Amino acid sequence: MKQQVIAPEPDQRPLDFVIIRRLFGYTKPYARLRNALFALVVLRAIQVTLVTWATAAVISGPIARHDLQGTVLGVLGFLALAGFTSFCFVYRQRFA
């Protein structure tokens, strides 16, 4: 009786666009929701970068210059951006 030698599987397969096409085919009835989710994921990626930039801009700008009005405006702008980011995060979770 011969033993069958099985080659080890690679740890990771290369990205296969056939799988992605099948995934889009399965989600076709929910295309509107899927596309909204993709848009929110991209928007969230942009927002995370903007929140970091806004924090650094407020600290190195009006706070470093001891400009009270600029600091208040910067903090209000940061809070508006953070609130919009949280809103998008909630709906991204709901859509997923």
Is pTM beyond 0.75? Reply is no
Q: List the end-to-end C-alpha distance of the chain, in Å, as a whole number.
A: 52
Mean pLDDT across the stretch 4-13? Answer: 68
Cβ neighbours of residue 84 closer than 8 Å, sequence gap 6 or more: 47
Burial class (CB in 10 A: 0-12, 13-18, 19+), 16: exposed
Query: Where exactly are the structural domains of the chain?
Result: 37-95
- Specify the pLDDT at position 9: 65
Cα–Cα distance measured from residue 55 to residue 62, given in angstroms and rounded to the nearest whole number: 11
Residue 72 has pLDDT above 90, yes or no: yes
Mean pLDDT across the stretch 46-73? Answer: 90
Cα–Cα distance measured from residue 5 to residue 9, given in angstroms and rounded to the nearest whole number: 12
